[in-house]
Amino acid sequence: MLIDNHNRTINYLRLAVTDRCNLRCNYCMPSEGINFAKRDSVFTIDELCLVAEILVGQGIEKIRITGGEPFVRKDLMVLLRHLTTLKGLNDISVTTNATLIGPHIDELKQLGINNINVSLDAINRGTFEKITRRNQYDTVHNNLIRLISEGFNVRINFIVLEGQNEQDILPILRLMKHYPVSVRFLEEMPFNGGSKTFQKIKWDYKAILAHITEAFPNYRKLESPATSTSINYQIEGHKSTFGLIPSFSRTFCGSCNRLRITATGDVITCLYGKPKANLREMVRGGNPREKVAQTILATLGSRAKTGFEAQNEHEKVFDKSMTSIGG
Ligand code: SAM
Ligand code: SF4
């Protein structure tokens, strides 16, 4: 079992499989991209399988595959197939921009990988193309509709960006009201690879809720697990639900149950903190599994209680891009 120094059980791993991406979302990275990791400093699929096995052996019950864009890796399905064989792993999910998932939808269904988070920050084509700096609107739209109609448990991640997509908040709720999906509005964080800095945001979770309340005053709050990062609601008469994720306000840190491993092997115990160890060299150096497991456990012995505390671990907290951390 993985327990941190604040007595929190860690049973959720966010595993990044690449830092590369075929989109250039302007809140995530600069238009020219970032200094992507060299290929040989990124975990191979065999190494990812091994790391996942070790962590599941230590009590990880849920793995979310993220990136960069996970599906830019041609061998991603090899990892996903392996994950479905791991005893004790109850929940495998993927966060994707939905541009490249199409050819894999049938197999994902067969494997029972049902939980797919799709990042979609606009329903208007022009807004989508401006934010992502690419023209993948039709592909994303078609894949999203397919995932929903094939019965996947789809959650849409919508980052609310001042001056860019606030006019789509209500339309996306109206559009999704007929479908059993969850639309989650996230606060923007300054992890954009140095594109811009900010100390405060206009669209915090309270402002988003106030905006929704004006148009849809009749909604109810839903029960959510204690470790959930989203506060969830359902509007009267809507099949969909919506959620607010205070990722910038950080109101949920106290019950955090997650660990992150980047595509290059860094162990990150808090999104806002410094990496605590690197597993890639350990795995490549032929260290026994027990030693890798001990290193992981040791990183949890000095885990910051909150993101605000973790931020003090280093000065350059906001230099990074979310594509290297995994979201
Ligand atoms: N490429 C995939 C995608 O976009 O879904 C997975 C990786 S992406 C880094 C993971 C999540 O981080 C996405 O939901 C994305 O919207 C979110 N994200 C990226 N940059 C962010 C930022 N600056 N603030 C808040 N969320 C961000
Ligand atoms: Fe790519 Fe996801 Fe970052 Fe957009 S948010 S640039 S899709 S990694």
Give the DSSP per-residue string, 214-273. Answer: HH---EEEPP--TT-S-EEEEETT-SSEEEEE-TTTT--GGG--EEEE-TT-EEESSTTS
Q: What is the pLDDT of residue 311?
A: 86
Domain spans of the chain, in order of start: 2-325
CB of 322 within 6 A of ligand 2: the answer is yes
How far apart are the C-alpha atoms of 263 and 19, rounded to whole Å? Answer: 6
DSSP lists the bridge partners of residue 276 as none
Task: Give the ligand whose atoms come closest to the C-alpha of residue 193.
Answer: 1
Q: What is the pLDDT of residues 157-194, one digit of tens each?
A: 999 999 999 999 999 999 999 999 999 999 999 999 98
Q: Contact 268/262 with Cβ under 8 angstroms? A: yes
Name the residue of 157, 201, 324 to mutate for ligand 1: max ligand atoms within 8 A of Cβ.
Answer: 157
How far apart are the C-alpha atoms of 292 and 298, rounded to whole Å? Answer: 10
Q: What is the pLDDT of residues 41-88, one digit of tens each?
A: 999 999 999 999 999 999 999 999 999 999 999 999 999 999 999 999
> Is residue 315 packed enough to be buried (19+ CB in 10 Å), middle (13-18) or exposed (0-12)?
exposed
How far apart are the C-alpha atoms of 99 and 251, rounded to whole Å? Answer: 32
Fold of 2-325: TIM Barrel (3.20.20)
Give the atom of ligand 1 at the shortest distance from the alpha carbon of 190.
23
Name the residue of 14, 20, 23 to mutate for ligand 2: max ligand atoms within 8 A of Cβ.
Answer: 23
CB of 323 within 6 A of ligand 2: the answer is yes
Give the atom of ligand 1 at the shortest distance from the alpha carbon of 118.
5
Task: Give the ligand whose atoms come closest to the C-alpha of residue 118.
Answer: 1
Name the residue of 27, 28, 160, 164 to mutate for ligand 1: max ligand atoms within 8 A of Cβ.
Answer: 28
DSSP 164: T
Q: What is the pLDDT of residues 255-314, one digit of tens each?
A: 899 999 999 999 999 998 999 999 999 999 989 999 999 999 999 999 999 988 898 887
**pTM for the structure as a whole:** 0.96
How remote is the CA of residue 157 from the centroid of ligand 1, in Å? 8
Q: For residue 197, what are its two tokens?
A: 């800095």
CA-closest residue to ligand 1 atom 5? 96
CB of 173 within 6 A of ligand 2: the answer is no
Q: What is the pLDDT of residue 38?
A: 96
Q: What are phi and psi of 33, to 5 degrees?
A: 85, -170
